[in-house]
Each structure stands twice: as structure tokens, then as C-alpha cells.
Amino acid sequence: MRRDPGPFFPIAGCLMLLAVAGPVVALLLDVPPRAALAAFADDGAREALQVSLVASTLATALATILGVPAGYWLGRIAPAPRAAALFVLALPLAFPPVASGIMLLHVVGARSPLGAWSAAHGLPLVDSLAGVALAEFFVAGAFVAIAACAAFGALDPLPQEAARTLGASEWRIFARIALPAAAGNVGAGIAFAWLRAIGEYGATSILAYHPTSMPVALYVALSARGVGSALALCYGFVLLAAVVLALQWVLRRRVV
């Protein structure tokens, strides 16, 4: 005989929502919109926002170009190598962000062969926009590949097998059958990767403290002017995240 869990599940759900939404709601109630507008009227905040928007878009574009095909490939290989590959992809998601920045600095810093070569050819990877994008890609890019692997792996294989039987190339199967069918979940992974990238502070502050990105500007505001000034900038982050998630939800509904 099954025992009724009673209100346990709805209570757990409500407590989880309260724990996540509580600080956000408190921010929106305590910080007037005009304070957020005033904070972003500052030239430094606007420049930091521009750096973050450009760098996170570059990082997410690279993650999409590499991660979506990689996810398609991973979704089709044997379970054992797939699990090993996903384990490797997930490692940066588990690293402390500062540790990620230190590892990147070791590989692309001015004293490393790659960093010295890149700087000599006009593309320094430390304290540059490219460095911001690289740090964001390292900590957020795996979201795309992991989401794409799950999306492609969940598809019904029959339409793809039928296309192969009829002589369709693998690229055509990917572009015409698999990608449209998995677009909603792949798009969600891309959206979360972009949000994770634009919010990255630890690795970015180690590899590319300058040009100043929004998370770095947020820390500077907290250190120099206190919690009130930092909260005003947080308001902008909340609105940006809400817009991106709402847009992703609308697009996913249309695809489905």
C-alpha cells in the first residue's frame, strides 16, 4: 500500500521558490528603478556593460559553433566514451572560478608560449577584450555542449535512420532533421551559457581585470561605494536575466 506524502512536495517546492526568489524580490522592492538608471548613467558602468555584452556574445558564439556539433556527436556515440567526454566538459563548471582564471593565466599568460605568440601577433589574451571572452568561454561554454548532447540524445532515432537509408549525408541529417527537432533545448543551453558568461567574475578578474566587465565593476562599486551602489547595478543584472530568459521561453514555445 502506497503512503500519501501529503503536502511534502508542494511545501518543498514553495520553500525552494522562496529561497531563490526572496533575495531578488527584496532587491526589486528596496532599490527604486531610478537608482538603477542613475547607476548605469555613469560612463564607467556603461563601458563595463558594453564590454560584458560583447565578450559574453563572443564567448557564447564560439561555444555554439563548437558545442552544438560536439553535442550532436556525443549524443550518437557509445555510452562509456560519452560519459567520459561529459565528465571532462563538466570539470570547469565545478572548478572555483578563481582557479579557472589561474589555470588560464598559466596557459595564455604573457610568459607562456601561446600567450607570448598571441601578443606578438596583435592579440593579447591578458587584460584585453579577448581575455574576457576567453575566460567566459572556459567557464560557460560547456553548458552548450552538455545541453546539446542531452537534446540530441533524446530524439527519436527513426527519422535520422530513415534519412541515412535514403542516402542523406550526416550534415544534411544534422541540419534538416536533428537540429530543428532539438532546437528548443539547444536554445535553452545557449541562453544559460550566455547568462553564465556575462555574470562571470572570478576567472575574468584573474585573466582580464581590464577592460572592466560588469561583474568586476560590481565588485569595484561594492568596495568603493558600499552595498547601496552595488545593489543598483545588481538591479540591471536582474532585468537583463529576466529579459533573456523570457525571450528564450517565448522562442522555445514557438519551436515546440
pLDDT of residue 229: 85
50 found inside a domain: yes
Look at residue 17 and tell me if it is in a domain: no
CATH classification of the domain holding 211? 1.10.3720.10
For 53-78, write each residue's pLDDT tens digit.
Answer: 999 999 999 999 999 999 999 999 99
Among 146, 166, 162, 142, which residue's Cα sits nearest to residue 154?
A: 146
Task: Compute the mean pLDDT over every residue in the chain, rounded to the nearest whole number.
Answer: 91
Task: Please state the domain count of the chain.
Answer: 1
Per-residue pLDDT, 72: 96
The alpha carbon torsion through 208, 213, 217, 220 (nearest 10 deg) reads -10
Residues near 71 by beta carbon (within 8 Å), at least 6 away in sequence? 144, 145, 146, 147, 148, 149, 150, 151, 152, 186
Q: What is the CA radius of gyration of the chain?
A: 21
Angle at 61 between CA 72 and CA 98, to 5 degrees: 100
Q: Percent of the chain having pLDDT more than 70? A: 96
Whether residue 233 lies inside any domain: the answer is yes
Q: How sure is the predictor about 256, in pLDDT bands with cuts at 50, 70 and 90? A: low
Of residues 56 and 41, more confidence is placed in 56
Residue 5 lies in a domain: no
DSSP string spanning 192-203?
A: HHHHHHHT--HH
Classify residue 7: in a domain, yes or no: no
Spatial contact of 235 and 35, defined as CB atoms under 8 Å apart? yes
Query: Does 126 have pLDDT greater than 70?
Result: yes
| Within-domain flag for 27 | no
Q: What is the pLDDT of residues 167-201, one digit of tens each?
A: 889 999 999 999 999 999 999 999 999 999 999 99
Contact 160, 177 (CB under 8 A): yes
225: pLDDT confidence band, cut at 50, 70 and 90?
Answer: confident
The x, y and z cell numbers of residue 30, run together, are 528596496
For residue 16, is it within any domain?
no
Are 151 and 71 contacting, i.e. CB atoms less than 8 angstroms apart? yes
Distance set, CA 256 to CA 28, 88, 181 (Å): 32, 31, 8
Q: Is the pLDDT of residue 254 over 80?
A: no
> Does this model's pTM top 0.85?
yes
Answer yes or no: is 170 within a domain. Answer: yes
Segments forming the whole domain that contains residue 194: 40-255
Q: Nearest-CA neighbor of 44 among 225, 251, 247? A: 225
pLDDT value of residue 255: 61
